[in-house]
Structure 1
């Protein structure tokens, strides 16, 4: 080992390069899983925190019913169930609980009193017990309700400041309260008015809200509010036989939830709903977003495994190239050992001893650096050990290969056009056949969800290697043509460069470059496809700058929206679900319910164009008033049902109580504003419908195009439009409409790009594209160094014949350009085609909201390849120049002497 240490020191540069490559490989094997786990855990926290509170709450509640008599104080007793219910939860769910609240409240009761009568206000209110409210609010007047009360004393309540102001109440106001169903009246005393410390705190999240009054929906409708009371107040209501209900609400958070436990949380939540005891209802909506998160993470990890396989394969190829380069530099030494009586494997044994001094310490250092990266876990230890073991054997195996080639008398390694041996042809054919079989098997078998599939991660590498092998088989043909053309040209640079290019047998570097560039191109193409898919999903949901959605908005809402600053267009839309198809004469057709969309075709096209979006509106939806049934665009499933019933020429659908005749004018798998999961829909052109007397359809939404508008102003205009519709006297107001919702295209697009797995996805694409490009350039540098000695001798001789430095650089460019061009072109084409083969099994729709990812040619890829090619050639000239200065070319002119 002492002699091995001296040899390592003598060839320090070569072993330093080998050690750095091994360090990087083990660092990636150890660190990538840690970084991925950290990104996924961070994504889980951000994803859960970004969900609406309604999707994060687990609520157990009782029905509204009279309390049992003679059971004593009930509010405090039921409040202790908050701990009992949490203790009974499955452990993963219990660990994910972030906050919890207990609420006990009465039914709505009519409020009376002189302060309300002064404003002629019709108000109903619930009395609600909210433990912890004093810690999350600040009194602006009076005090909090007392926890105990005596016989004959009024029930003490506190009101939110906004509520008290709107209903003309203050501290000291006296009220009468009685259930709407005719319960026993109670006296109330307002003892305090408060402001919330944090209005977004979860304690205020119950319905109806505590902090604001729900205004009347129409004439004769009451104001609805909530008054906060103490345990004594609720017990007083229960003692009179009033109806009460209890709820225990638990909010789940990502901080207490580990990624590995998400599946357990989903199963536990579903089991709680399924096994809820009688008298208690359990509601939750957390399982669906968590399942979507798991699907996205599973797809992102699969994609990351494919990218990591390409990067690690490239690193493995570079380690092999470094070992081969080091062995070739010492080829004479190994031949001399054999000539002096050494065994044929003596050189390999020497290399093994040297490798043991360099590779294991470098691997240990890479493992240590990988463990220092932020994250959890440490990767698979056996994978790091296997990487170190294979890297240790790389130099001895390269030595055996070099010794075997040098033992062939008269053999030349610089002729790419030489006829390959049967063994090499067999290996190349085997690689191509394995790649084809792997693709066929993967497409037929599909992907194993939630696991890293060895077949999947091997297919890109196999395809890249097979493409490189085929390219090298075809490489000599254009070179022969180039050599013939160059022989007829004046000057020696092109002729000599083409001749040397035809003798360049850089098989291994080309394979490594192809794998590296294919990995980078794959990342670029898939990333572009995902971005385009997210754009399409956002456009399908909001085919304009914004969508103002409600229940029914007054028709003049469009004019009110257009009057707002920044708004240029407002197009009405009617969207209704669960509608029935009927025969033209009105009899039900017996088909499943459908979703109906009424939209002005030209208006939709103009709104999308004005917003800078690409929306294709079929010609069937652009025509004017129809003479007979209106032309409709329907889904393929519905079109088949209508044709089977003989209704494709004329059918009837009732929208908002009015029937519209339509005929099937075309089919489409999807359409803007129609949910992607809907497979039965009808799109009717609003402008083609017959004029309605006295009124036409009432819009349920408006498409808004423009820029610089205020979202709050849009929402307010939508709310006022709903209020005008319910109070215009032409309809009877039903239940209170929900508030208008405003969704902007940018908001819909950002929500798709902000998923929990987006950080992991970005990391994988950045590492794959950047790492592939850098490692590909490094492989080209190896290709230059592999032939540096022979080029040095040629340069020394040509310089004596008058070749200038500029001509030498041009000769080097002519020699390397075909090789670099073939490697980059093959890698880029392979990387661009890989998504076409792998997209069906990668589950990329998890990143686009369910929209299939379409892989398309990107002009930017061509520009990127040209840039990488230019950088590669510049790097090659730089490496060659530096190497020539180190070799001192003037000393190699003496016959038989090599540097």
Structure 2
């Protein structure tokens, strides 16, 4: 017989609010779950592109060179053809066409041409000569000069063809080269050409690079900026090295020079479009170009002796290490928030099943089959859940356009499965067999079954295995190992085990607390504890969600706090104070006074620094730095910064006897325990080790010896100023130093700027943002789980309060009853979350590697600072306290709303509440 009305339509019309709530919950959950992998792909892809963008141009380009061209026969037409602009451009086109994906050439920054292999000395009127003699030049005929340079004076070289033995040619130089080497328009530079007449290169113009940091100019930086070279004699003497830029058509003039000329092709890799998922393909492509089948194809297409050099493999390897170290840490947050979301979805399904327990029992009693009931419930839930999940997942893909498509699709499908399966699964578990009504099923009377015991022991074994694996192997430091799922799930497994243990132990404190309350005259306390013990045994799900959220929040807060603490300490160690002013020589006397007048400066410590101090032990190869300071001010600075604090009296110069010094462990080992004479003969010091410290302000690396500045002979001006002041700004400080330092050699470093530089990689900043969002999402879903558990018991509590009010219970007593009834469970969740979160941080700290998250490129400064999980009081205590306060607040609101109504509106004949 055909049904009068379809089941799903009837249910949605009679109960629209639960369907709307489910739509919102599933949509938000699908959005978060789909956005997480897209966000990870986005910041990892940005990190890969950032690594290519900031790498040195000679490392991030593919540099191809052909054998040097020699003018064996000047009459041979093939000689000039080999270096003609057309031939070189055609070969570059072949190289670009044969590049394997995902590598793509950046045509704007790629270049080709002919250049001399080594610098050549050049003579000319007015050229600046240093102690090493006349300057040397690299001659390059590089295509695209007109597009990559702006003419400041003169003109570009004429595009005239020149043979190997042409007597003269034209070139231009950059403004930096012209200024340093004294070149002007019209200067003639003569380059030796063996036994024949030298090549006269006339400078026709001075140009300015359009994009000086681009690969066109930076693969060979000498093309835009001159540098020093040094002679081979002892001592080495410097001389200038610049570049003369010829027209591409004049490349033939380079073939007869003493230093052989070579054709070259610089292929800049375009980072646009490269994503993190392209890393393996890019590494394979680079390997194929360097020494694989692609190189063989290129040699067939370009030349049999084509050579290639690049640093791309090193860039990709470094990025893989950073991503491989940060990925497992981020996956911990993914497992944590994923576990909370899964439990909340199951809790929502359980709440719906509990609300409709009588309806489903009546349906079964009237002959409804279990498969039919499950099918109806599944269709009823799927109608709002599936469109919500699709909308949430699609919104995540639209808002985060970068990344792979299949991870958000899989995440959305998982959300749909859990959201649609929670209610039918709970219905199957409760109604597959008829159950007598009126029986108690609470946390006090419930006895765990054998199956539950086996499941709990299995989870315990998995948690122990995860902890052992994490402490032994740690988070993988390398992309090759990938993310270890068991290791990443360790905090979640510990939270699950802790929740199960707390549920088993929960009845014991209730019984103990009920004994003294039973002897008191008032019934509120005893009734509240009894009611707390009558809570359904299914409250394990909300408790599990709360514990997982609290553990995830505590672990995430510890990760972020550990990273922040390590960066702060590394910045202080690198600078030595809030700011540092230093120079290679002694600072002018007015610099210290000018710095003291800068707004925000609270103190200035003057330090005389001398490197390569001789300890007279025959091992001067290991450098030691001498730091001469005023003991009182320096000791206060060392204590305030936490860098090897010591009492000032340990460093003060005595009236007689050896000079006490504070030294590093390496210097202490070399000096021994007795008096020692150190330093040069003209300024020898007899010292004894008074204290040993690992770190000291003003020196970030290496061994050191601290002495009282009053013990040094002769005037020793300060070379370093360590400035204290948390609000000191870089602009006023640099202006004051620049005004007082006439030489302009003083350098200013700020702790805040050094601190910001540690998070230079988008992989770091992106991972921190994702981690923070995951922690916030876990906290939000924990609040939702708490509200769901309170809503589940609300109807029964309201009915109970109405009955008690008919028996004489006052409104004030009713409110106290509901609040006290909620306290045991909320206190259990809050206190248990704090304890478990604290234990998880302590247990897992040795296996969690945060060095790459704190500083992507590592470095000696950060390597001397421990980077480990740090227990963060705010993320540990605040969420636990919030659980208790929120539970009490919701109970108080429920009681207030209930006591405002009449008792007769809550009680009905036959009501089973």
User: Is TM more than 0.5 here?
Assistant: yes
Q: In structure 2, which of residues 275, 279, 284 is the aligned counterpart of residue 258 of structure 1?
A: 275
Distance, in Å, in 1 between the alignment partners of 2:321 and 2:351 is: 45
The offset of 1:460, in angstroms, is 2.2
1:731 alignment counterpart = none
Matching residue of 1:205? 218
1:461 equivalent in alignment to 2:492:
yes
Which residue of structure 2 lines up, in the alignment, with residue 394 of structure 1?
422
Work out whether 1:779 is the aligned partner of 2:785: yes
User: Which residue number in structure 2 is paired with residue 874 of structure 1?
Assistant: 889
Deviation at 1:359, TM superposition (A): 4.6
How do residues 751-830 of structure 1 correspond to structure 2 at under 5 angstroms? 751-801=757-807, 803=809, 805=811, 807-830=813-836
2:110 alignment partner, one of 100, 112, 116:
100
| Paired residue secondary structure (1:532) | helix
Aligned to 2:911: 897
Aligned partner of residue 758 in structure 2, secondary structure: helix
Secondary structure in structure 2 of the residue aligned to 1:6: helix
Relative distance call for 1:167 and 1:299 in structure 2 (3 A) is: closer
Does the residue aligned with 1:228 lie in a helix, a strand or coil? strand
Aligned: 1:683 with 2:719: no
Alpha carbons 1:40, 1:759 under 8 Å: kept: no
Matches within 5 A, 1:619-768: 623=651, 627=658, 632-634=663-665, 682-685=703-706, 707-710=728-731, 744-768=750-774
Aligned residue number for residue 10 of structure 2: 6
Output the CA distance in 2 between the equivalents of 1:28 and 1:807: 43
2:121 corresponds in structure 1 to 109
Contact persistence 1:468–1:510 (CA under 8 A): yes
CA apart distance, 1:753: 1.7
Q: Does the aligned pair in 2 maintain the 1:123–1:222 contact within 8 Å?
A: yes
Which residue of the other structure, out of 844, 862, 875, is the alignment partner of 2:850?
844
1:377 aligns with 2:401: no
Distance in 1 of aligned mates of 2:683 and 2:305:
42
Could you tell me how far 1:778 is from its partner in structure 2?
A: 0.9
- Decide whether the 8 Å contact of 2:57 with 2:219 is kept in 1: no
Query: Counterparts of 2:664 and 2:195 in 1: how far apart (Å)?
Result: 53
1:735 is aligned to none
**1:571 equivalent in structure 2:** 607
CA distance, structure 1, for counterparts of residue 819 and residue 562 of structure 2: 35
Quote the offset at 1:101 in angstroms: 2.7
Q: How does 1:138-157 map to 2 (within 5 A)?
A: 138-148=150-160, 154-157=168-171
Partner of 1:736 in structure 2? none
Task: Report Cα offsets for 1:615-652 as digits up to 9, x if no partner.
Answer: 225679963679499774236xx99xx79xx9898999
For residues 272 and 570 of structure 1, the distance between their equivalents in structure 2, rounded to whole angstroms, comes to 55
Indicate how the Cα distance of structure 1 residues 341 and 888 shifts in structure 2: closer, same or farther if over 3 A, else same. farther
Question: Deviation per CA, 1:751-807, whole angstroms, max 9, x where unpaired?
Answer: 322313124313332222211111111111111112112211122123335655555
Query: 1:207 and 1:753 mapped to 2: Cα distance?
Result: 29
Partner of 2:40: 36
Distance 2:88 2:7 in 1: 80
Map of 1:484-633 to 2, 5 A cutoff? 493-494=524-525, 496-505=527-536, 506-545=539-578, 553-556=584-587, 566=598, 568-569=604-605, 571-573=607-609, 584=617, 586=618, 594=622, 596-600=624-628, 606=634, 609=637, 613-617=641-645, 623=651, 627=658, 632-633=663-664
The range that moved more, 32-41 or 71-80, is 71-80
Between 39-48 and 15-24, the greater mean CA deviation after superposition = 15-24
Q: Which one of the candidate residues 354, 357, 366 is aligned to 1:328?
A: 354
Structure 2, gaps ≥5 residues long: none
Q: How far did residue 816 of structure 1 move?
A: 1.4
Q: TM-score, normalised by structure 1?
A: 0.78
Contact 2:171/2:203 (<8 A) preserved: yes
Judged with a 3 Å threshold, the aligned counterparts in structure 2 of structure 1 residues 605 and 561 are, in CA distance, closer, same or farther, namely closer
1:45 to 49, 52, 61: 49
CA separation of 1:30 and 1:583: change in aligned 2, threshold 3 A = same
**1:34–1:373 Cα contact (<8 Å) kept:** no
Provide the C-alpha distance between the structure 1 equivalents of 2:566 and 2:752, rounded to a whole number of angstroms.
14
Look up the match of 2:871. Answer: 857
CA-to-aligned-CA distance 1:815-855 (integer Å, 9 cap, x gap): 21332222122223323433333344443221123455322
User: Please, which moves more after superposition, 104-113 or 705-714?
Assistant: 705-714
The DSSP-based 3-state class of the residue aligned with 2:352 is helix
Matches of 1:499 and 1:571, distance apart in 2: 71
Change beyond 3 A, Cα 1:631–1:857: closer
Please give the secondary structure, in 1, of the residue aligned with 2:172: strand
Pair 1:881–1:287, CA change in 2 (3 A): farther
Deviates more, 1:311-320 or 1:340-349: 340-349
1:283 and 1:661 map into 2 onto residues whose CA distance is 54
Give the superposed CA RMSD: 5.2
What displacement does 1:721 show? 7.2
Alignment of 1:65-76 (within 5 A): 70=74, 71-72=79-80, 76=84
After superposition, the Cα gap between the structure-2 partners of 1:196 and 1:50, relative to the gap in structure 1 and judged at 3 Å, is: closer
Write the mapping of 1:283-302 to structure 2, written as runs, cut at 5 A: 284-302=310-328
**CA offset digits 1:712-768 (Å, max 9, x no partner):** 779989999799xxxxxxxxxxxxxxxx98654333322322313124313332222
Partners of 1:442 and 1:296 in 2: CA distance: 19
Kindly report which structure 2 residues correspond to 1:16-31, keeping only aligned pairs within 5 A, or say none: 16-31=20-35
Q: CA deviation at 1:37?
A: 1.4
C-alpha deviations, 1:504-547, integer Å up to 9, x for none?
Answer: 34332212211122222221121111211222333343333456
1:463 deviation in Å? 1.1
Distance in 2, Cα, partners of 1:279 & 1:656: 60
Q: Distance in 2 between matches of 1:123 and 1:364?
A: 69
**1:446-465, CA deviations, whole angstroms, 9 ceiling, x for partnerless residues?**
55654333312433222112
Contact kept, 8 Å, 1:108 with 1:180, in 2: the verdict is: no
**Structure 1, gaps ≥5 residues long:** 724-739
Change (3 A) 1:132 1:629: farther
TM-score of the superposition, structure 2-length normalised?
0.77
Between stretches 760-769 and 14-23, larger displacement belongs to 14-23
Residues 18 and 813 of structure 1, relative CA distance in 2, 3 Å threshold = same
Quote the Cα distance in structure 2 between the aligned partners of 1:686 and 1:546: 22
1:195 deviates by 3.6
Q: Give the Å deviation of 1:255.
A: 1.4
> Shift of residue 338 of structure 1?
4.5
Q: Helix, strand or coil: the match of 1:191?
A: strand
Give the whole-Å Cα distance in 1 for the aligned partners of 2:821 and 2:659: 74
Is residue 442–residue 456 contact of structure 1 (8 Å, CA) maintained in 2? yes
Greater CA deviation, 597-606 or 363-372? 597-606
1:14 to 1:657, Cα distance in 2 relative to 1, 3 A? farther
Match of residue 466 from structure 2: 438
Distance 1:856 1:657 in 2: 50
The aligned residue for residue 732 of structure 1 is none
1:880–1:369 Cα change, 3 Å: farther
Deviation by residue 1:479-523 (Cα, 9 ceiling, x = unmatched): 445545656777665554344334334332212211122222221
Cα distance, 1:671–1:294 mapped onto 2, change above 3 Å: farther
